[in-house]
Amino acid sequence: MSRREGNNRLAVPAQDALVKQPIIIYLDTQDYINTFKKPADDPNVQTLREVLLRRDGGKVLIGYSAITLIEFITKPNIEYRAERRERGEHVKAICGRNAFPMIDDLQNGARFPNGGFWVGTPESKPIDLKSIWRKEEKKLIEGFVRQPGVNRNIRRRLKRPNAIFKLAKSANLEFMTQRDDYGSIPVPQSFIDDRVMTRLMCGEIRFEYAEKRLMEWANDPSEFSTIVYEYNDSDPVIDRFFKKTIDNMEGLAKEITILFGKILEHNKSIEAINEKIRRLKPLHSGRIKPLKQTRLAPSTGFSALEGKICSKYHPHFRTYLEEAISGNLVYKRSDMMDLYQMVYAYECDLFRCDRHMAHRFRNTPEVSTKLVAKFVDLPDRIDALLRQRP
């Protein structure tokens, strides 16, 4: 490999270099952690280099999700500010503008690479600029009509379309040109420096341009930490996004586990009674019939998940629930993040996860053939899948 190739091993390829049907890959959060700021001879970095060579050859597309960023960029203290941004840049260097939509957006039809938006869709509006603009417009008109000499005819003209643009432009007015003008609303500093709200008020630019600019900034992985930490309190980011959901799922899992535990105890009691009946049966000529046990039906508990997540993604949640009910696993709170990551296995061709997850879902047909338990195996799995394609 040349010196130039070595220095640019994470460079994102041009889109026109991609083949018609590249393999879509979802990396485990641990893969980003294990390759971040590591030496070139590190085994994980060497594996990543092999994967990126296939990416640069147009054979694969690598995508990230909101969960990737939430798990990878978790250090809230100010001393980690530079590192947090570097972590976002690391994700961007590997994936470019290829994002898996948030689960709610998936349910509403968004699909990879989703215009590079890990939250929302290309049509989404992170901030309602028109509402902000209308408030400023109202204040401007109210202030103007109170001035001496403004008669009814002038007030009537102010109600015409685009009248506010002419008024703002002729008066050389400035709107929302300071950070404090936006309160807790996250906007990039360049948005303020470029006087975007003033130019909107004067009719010099369109709302679509400003909203697109905001959306692209909000979905830039390198800006993720700025948005979640510097515009908000520094509470753990995983809790901020997922605590309520994880709490609900945890409560549900525990309730179901307790329920089926009681059913098992009940069935043991029934079995003991039936054993006595079998011993008495010869004396009573079959007039005493055995009692029926309560059937273990995972779907009974699983129905509580309906509506919480799209039915397309139920199978692995069902698998997990069945394992918990059967006693083959002990529920752990951290499992919930893994389960939500697994949603993206339905949306890609190869899905990186740890060995425990790969083993747990080895018999779940919808995802089992996509799981890659070891990062080092990923290049060979890519090549094998490429050989299967026409």
Give the pLDDT confidence of 214-239 residue by residue, as tens digits.
Answer: 888 888 998 888 777 766 655 555 56
Specify the pLDDT at position 210.
87
Q: Which two tokens stand for residue 378?
A: 């990923």
The answer on pLDDT for 369 being more than 90 is yes
Helix axes 163-170, 129-145, angle to 10 degrees: 70
Question: For the residues 329-341, what does the mean pLDDT come to?
Answer: 78
- Are the C-beta atoms of residues 75 and 84 closer than 8 Å to each other? yes
Q: Which residues pair with 371 in a beta bridge?
A: 351
Angstrom distance (rounded) from CA 372 to CA 250: 27
Specify the pLDDT at position 52.
97
What does pLDDT average to over the chain? 78
Question: For the residues 13-18, what does the mean pLDDT come to?
Answer: 44
pTM of the model: 0.73
Specify the pLDDT at position 87.
93
Q: Which residue has the higher pLDDT, 188 or 145?
A: 188
Specify the pLDDT at position 94.
97
Specify the pLDDT at position 25.
98
Specify the pLDDT at position 121.
81
Q: Which of 179, 220, 173, 175 is CA-nearest to residue 196? A: 175
The answer on pLDDT for 20 being more than 60 is no
Question: For the residues 18-37, what does the mean pLDDT come to?
Answer: 89
| DSSP-based three-state secondary structure for 309 | strand
Angstrom distance (rounded) from CA 272 to CA 282: 17
Q: Name the residue ranges covered by the structural domains of the chain.
A: 129-218, 242-336
CB burial class (10 A; 0-12, 13-18, 19+) of residue 237?
A: buried
The answer on pLDDT for 343 being more than 50 is yes
Above pLDDT 70, what percent of the chain? 68
Specify the pLDDT at position 57.
95
Question: For the residues 238-249, what does the mean pLDDT come to?
Answer: 62
pLDDT tens-digit series, residues 248-296: 666 666 676 677 777 778 778 878 877 777 777 665 555 666 767 666 5
Show Cβ contacts of residue 326 under 8 Å, excluding neighbours closer than 6 positions: none
Specify the pLDDT at position 6.
43
Q: Which residue has the higher pLDDT, 115 or 237?
A: 115
